[in-house]
Chain A
C-alpha cells in the first residue's frame, strides 16, 4: 500500500471532524453562536457576500493598497539594502537610523502620517510602504553581507565592477535572503493594510471586518478572515514557486 497517496486522509478527516463538532455545537448551544456561528452560516455569508460583490470589491481595495504600498516600500528597501550591504560607508551612516526606526510600532506613526500625508489614500499607502520597507532593507543588506569573502576576492581578482558585480555576484549571492525578505515584507504589509483599513477606511477587507464587528455580524467577520487567510496562502504559494524556480537549492522540495 502506498502510504504517500493516503497521507492526506488523516488530516482531512481530522478537520472535517472539527467542523462537524463546531456545526453541531453551534446548533445545540454548546458554543455561543453570537461569536462562533456555525460553519454552514459562515459559508452562506461568504457565498452571499461574494455573489453580491461586497467581498470582491473589498478585496480589490485591499489588493490595490497592498500592491502600491509594496511597490513604494519594498523596492526602495531592496535598493538601499543592497547598497548598505555593499558599501561600508553607506552602512555606517544609515544603519543607526535604520536600527532606530525599524523597531518602532508602525501603527503608532499613523496619527503623524495622517497629519503629514492627509486623510486620503496617501497616508494608508505610506503606512503600508513603511511596513514593507524595513524587512526588505534588512534582509537584502544581510544577503549581501553574508556573501562569502572568497567570492568577493575572486570578483576583485577579475576586476568585476558596477553592473557586472551586481548581476554576477551580489544578486545571486543575496537572492535567498532577498526572497525571504519579500515574504516577510508581503506578510507584514498585508497585516498593516488590514489594520489600517480597520481604523481609517470605509472600503477594503479591514473595513469589512470592522463593520462586521460593529454590527456583531460575526459570520461576515469570519468570511472576510477567510479571504485574508486565502490571500496570505496564495501570496506565499507564489513566492514558494518563485523560490523554487530561482534558487532551487533553497527550495522546500529539497529539504527533508
Chain B
C-alpha cells in the first residue's frame, strides 16, 4: 500500500510540476484585449468644420471601438503643432504651412500620417475669394485687383491660401505685393466686404454661405479652381504614436472610420454632431459646402511638394523637406490593405 501511495504522490508531484512548467511557458496576454484599460490620447481639436472627422470619431464611438479614450484639447492649429512636435499632444490637425516643414526639418518629432482636407476639381467651394457685390463685374478680372485690399484670417498670405492667391495673381502678371492684406476675423471681413474697405475676402465655410445669403458678395474663385488637388490640412502624430505601431494603427482605423461617415455629408447624424460641437445652426450646416476628405487617408504629395517650392521661394521655408522625412504612410497602408475596396 505504501508503495502504491508513494507512486501516487510521485505522479501527483510530477503532474503539478508539468502543469507549472506549462503555465510558465504559456504565451503572454495579448496587448489589445477588450478588457484592457483604454489608451488615453490627447487630441487637438477646435469647434470648426475642419476638425469634423475627429469630432465624429469621438461622438460616434469610433475611438471607443478601438479601445481609445480621446481627450480633446482646444488649441489653434498653429499653437498645437509645436505641442505635438514636443509630445505634449498625441495627435493634431495641421494646415499645410511653412511652419509644419520647418518644425520637422529642425528636429520636431512628429510626422504627417493622414490626410485631412483637400480641394479637388469639381468640388463645391469650401474656401474661396469672395468679391464685393457692388463691384463684382470688374472684380471678376483679376488684373483689376492691383492695389485692392483682401481680408484673410490671421495667417495672412502664408500657407496654402497664400499659394492659392499667388497662383491666381501670377496668371495675371501680378504678385502678392500688389495686394493689400488685412488680417480680420470672419465677421469683420464680412463688414469690410459690405462697406468696401476690403472688397476681396478670402473666406471659408460657413462664412462663404453667410456672405452670399446676406448679399454682401459673390464667389470669384474657389480653391478648387486655382489649385485643384491642393492638400489643405493633415493629421500629425506625435513620437509616442509613431513608436507604438499598434496604438497608431488603431487611431488611424478610428479616424478613417469617421472619415467614411463624414463622406455621407450633411446626413442627419453628421449635422447633429457638428451642430453640437461647432455651435452652427443645423439649417446652415445643411447648406454649406463640406470639404473633401479622402477616404483612404492618403496625401497629395505632388501638391505638398509644389507648395514647399513656392514657400521656399517666398523665403518662408528653410529648405524643401522630402516626403520620406515628413510623411509616414505605414498606418494608412495597413488600414487600406485590410479594408475591402
A: residues with CB less than 8 A from B are: 32-35, 111, 114-115, 118-120, 199-202, 210-211, 213-217
Contacts and interface: CB of A to CB of B under 8 A. Distances in A.
A200 B197 CA distance: 15
Given A215-B97, A216-B98, A217-B102, 18 more contacts: A32-B86, A32-B107, A34-B82, A34-B86, A34-B107, A35-B82, A119-B149, A119-B151, A119-B182, A119-B184, A119-B197, A120-B197, A199-B154, A200-B182, A211-B158, A213-B78, A215-B98, A216-B103
Interface of B: 78, 81-82, 85-86, 97-100, 102-103, 106-108, 149, 151, 154-156, 158, 181-185, 187-188, 191-192, 195, 197-198, 316-318
A214 B99 contact: yes
Contacts of A34: 82, 85-86, 103, 106-108
A215 B188 contact: no
Nearest to B98: A215
A35 B185 contact: no
A215 B103 CA distance: 8
A205 B188 CA distance: 23
Contacts, number: 70
Contacts of B149: 119
Question: Counting chain B CB atoms within 10 Å of each CB, which of A32, A201, A213 scores highest?
Answer: A32
Contacts of A33: 106-107
A211 B311 CA distance: 13
B192 to A, nearest CB: 5
A216 B184 CA distance: 22
A214 B183 contact: no
B188 A115 contact: yes
Contacts of B191: 114-115
Nearest to A29: B107
11 contacts: A34-B82, A34-B103, A34-B108, A114-B184, A114-B188, A200-B184, A202-B181, A214-B98, A215-B97, A215-B98, A216-B103
Contacts of A210: 154
A119 B198 contact: yes
Question: Counting chain B CB atoms within 10 Å of each CB, which of A114, A118, A120 scores highest?
Answer: A114
Contacts of A114: 184, 188, 191
Contacts of B100: 216
A201 B183 contact: yes
Contacts of A214: 78, 97-99, 155, 158
Q: Across chains A and B, which 6 residue pairs bring their CB atoms closest together, nearest first?
A: A216-B99, A119-B182, A215-B98, A216-B102, A216-B103, A34-B106
A215 B108 CA distance: 13
A111 B187 CA distance: 9
A211 B156 CA distance: 9
Given A34-B108, A119-B151, A202-B156, A216 B188 contact: no
A201 B107 CA distance: 30
A202 B158 CA distance: 11
B311 to A, nearest CB: 8
B197 to A, nearest CB: 5
A216 B236 CA distance: 16
Question: Counting chain B CB atoms within 10 Å of each CB, which of A115, A214, A215 scores highest?
Answer: A215
A122 to B, nearest CB: 11
Contacts of A199: 154, 183
A32 B151 CA distance: 35
